[in-house]
Amino acid sequence: MLSQDQIELIHQEIDGANTPEGSAAFRSLMEHDPEARALAAELRRVAGLFSQAGEREPPPMLKRAILDALPQPARASPRASLRWAAQALRLVTERMEEAIMTKKTVLIGSAAAAIVLIIAGVVSSWPPGSHEAGTIGGVEQAARYHGRAMTEADVSLKNPEIQALFQNDEVLQLVRSEAFRQVMDNQAFRQLVASDAYRQIVASQAYQQLIASQAYQQLLASQAYQQLIASQAYRQMIANQAFRDMAASQAYQQVMASQAYQQVAASQAYQQLMASQAFRNLQANQAYQQVMASQAYQQLMASQAYQQLMASQAYQQLMASQAFQQLMASQAFRNLEANQAYQQMMAGQAYRQIVASQAFRTLQASETFRSLAQNQALSQAFMREAMRTQN
């Protein structure tokens, strides 16, 4: 029977970590103890297996994705700082008003994105892949979830959280509504769920972190947020063709994706945003100008709900969170915004009816919804039961 010290000696020899004296003791042990020889041989086989495994190349776009998402260097060189300061000083006065307006626009874009994320959180596993039971087929699950299919038991009504949801009259009203059915059957919705951009978003770590964050959940549950998305002005805004054109425009996406935007809470970064070429392009964009001049936009800006939302701690924490910034800066998110199916769904009446409904707000504010948004199995169970309830 080998002692603990002898076993350690063998492990250390395999790791090349023995002192010369330790190696000599190891060699002596090998000469005299067959059990030690057998153990050493087996441990070498384990180590040998690992040494046979090659190193994999990272995805070719990884470096680009990292560098694209990087914030500006934390401190500029003295020469660059002087250049920036002179430029900022020149621009700051004349652009003050524009800056305020632009910030609001960007934040509206963020709020619109948050709504999509709500839906994504609920239906991230819906419709199911063709290998699973489901009413709507033809759309594969996100690739990263392959091999993690839930059993029937996981998606049954026995789940108390799902049971509780469907005992709620408002939730029942929502899933039985024509608007809900229309969204589920909507071709644009199905295309959206099947799109790479959507899958990448839902599968991304930033998204998972975001929906799990306290700030995000507080925001969704806040009265101001719910009033805002239920407001006529907001619904008009997201249905507005000019708004959709702007959101899809390259200039807008450049601004949203710019490094400066990611530090929008910091005034220095914000000034860089103002001075950027992307910002100038946005200002010159016709869709942008139409949005700025639209009545819906003005009403939205003036609404109490909007102002409360902007001032809320939860909203500000969310905007400042790393997960949110990573998500907004990601190529997948930009692709999603530019996705035609996404835009069609956002503009669809059925979708707008859902997000504006009292039932949906009840659902959003519920504890169970938070579980749904974070748990694929629950999400799937909810959607299946919703479809069953409709039939």
Partner 1 sequence: MHVLARGNPFGAGAADRADAPTNLCPSELYLKETAAADEQDRALVRRYLEGQRDAAGGLVDRYQKRLFNVALRMLDNAQDAEDVTQTVFLNAFLKLRTYDPRYRFFSWVYRMTVNESLNVLKRRRRIVTVEDEPDIQAPGAAPDRAAEVEDRVGKALMCLKPDDRAVVVLRHFVAFSYEEIADVLEIPVRTVKSRLFTARERLRLALSEGVR
Q: Binding residue for partner 1 (CB under 8 A) from 20, 32, 75, 93?
A: 75
Residue 154 near partner 1 by CB under 8 A: yes
Residue 56 near partner 1 by CB under 8 A: yes
Q: Binding residue for partner 1 (CB under 8 A) from 203, 320, 338, 365?
A: 203
Question: Which one-letter amino acid corresponds to residue 172?
Answer: L
User: 105: left (phi > 0), else alpha (psi -120 to 50), else beta?
Assistant: alpha
Q: Report yes or no: 359 and 173 within 8 Å, Cβ to Cβ.
A: yes
DSSP annotation of 130 reads: T
Q: Binding residue for partner 1 (CB under 8 A) from 46, 93, 97, 391?
A: 46
List CB contacts of 180: < 8 A, sequence separation 6 or more.
Answer: 174, 350, 354, 386, 390
Q: How far apart (Å, rounded) are the C-alpha atoms in residues 379 and 282? A: 38
Q: Binding residue for partner 1 (CB under 8 A) from 5, 21, 31, 57?
A: 57
Neighbours of 327 (CB within 10 A): 23
Structure tokens at 2: 């080998």
Residue 63 near partner 1 by CB under 8 A: yes
Taking CB under 8 A as the binding criterion, the range among 63-71, 102-110, 278-286, 332-340 that sits at the site for partner 1 is 63-71
Nearer to partner 1, 37 or 181 (CB): 37
Residue 391 near partner 1 by CB under 8 A: no
Taking CB under 8 A as the binding criterion, the range among 99-107, 204-212, 289-297, 309-317 that sits at the site for partner 1 is 204-212
Q: Which of 228, 217, 234 is nearest to 318 (CA)?
A: 217
SS3 159: coil
The residue count for binding partner 1 (CB under 8 A) is: 57
Q: Which of 88, 64, 92 is nearest to 76 (CA)?
A: 88
Q: How far apart (Å, rounded) are the C-alpha atoms in residues 293 and 208? A: 36
Q: In the window 286-325, what residues touch partner 1 (CB under 8 A)?
A: 322
Q: Binding residue for partner 1 (CB under 8 A) from 20, 49, 167, 391?
A: 49
Q: Binding residue for partner 1 (CB under 8 A) from 31, 54, 133, 391?
A: 54
Q: Binding residue for partner 1 (CB under 8 A) from 11, 103, 104, 181?
A: 11
Q: Report yes or no: 228 and 39 within 8 Å, Cβ to Cβ.
A: no
Taking CB under 8 A as the binding criterion, the range among 165-173, 271-279, 288-296, 375-383 that sits at the site for partner 1 is 375-383
* Residue 208 Cβ vs partner 1, minimum distance, rounded to whole Å: 6
Structure tokens at 193: 């769920």
Q: How far apart (Å, rounded) are the C-alpha atoms in residues 112 and 102? A: 15
Nearer to partner 1, 74 or 133 (CB): 74
Nearer to partner 1, 8 or 169 (CB): 8
Q: How far apart (Å, rounded) are the C-alpha atoms in residues 346 and 337? A: 10
Taking CB under 8 A as the binding criterion, the range among 92-100, 128-136, 205-213, 237-245 that sits at the site for partner 1 is 205-213
Residue 8 near partner 1 by CB under 8 A: yes
Taking CB under 8 A as the binding criterion, the range among 42-50, 185-193, 343-351, 358-366 that sits at the site for partner 1 is 42-50
Q: Report yes or no: 389 and 176 within 8 Å, Cβ to Cβ.
A: yes
Residue 368 near partner 1 by CB under 8 A: no
Residue 133 near partner 1 by CB under 8 A: no
Residue 32 near partner 1 by CB under 8 A: no
* Four-point Cα dihedral 84, 85, 86, 88, nearest 10: 80
Residue 27 near partner 1 by CB under 8 A: no
* Four-point Cα dihedral 195, 200, 202, 204, nearest 10: 180
Q: Binding residue for partner 1 (CB under 8 A) from 6, 110, 173, 208?
A: 208
Q: How far apart (Å, rounded) are the C-alpha atoms in residues 348 and 199? A: 21
Q: Please measure the distance between the N-terminal and C-terminal CA atoms of the chain and give it in whole angstroms.
A: 69
Taking CB under 8 A as the binding criterion, the range among 96-104, 112-120, 164-172, 200-208 that sits at the site for partner 1 is 200-208
Using CB under 8 A as the criterion, which residues of the chain lie in contact with partner 1 when the complex forms?
7-8, 11-12, 15-19, 42-43, 45-47, 49-59, 62-63, 65-67, 69-71, 73-77, 80, 143-144, 148, 150-151, 154, 203-206, 208, 212, 322, 326, 374-377
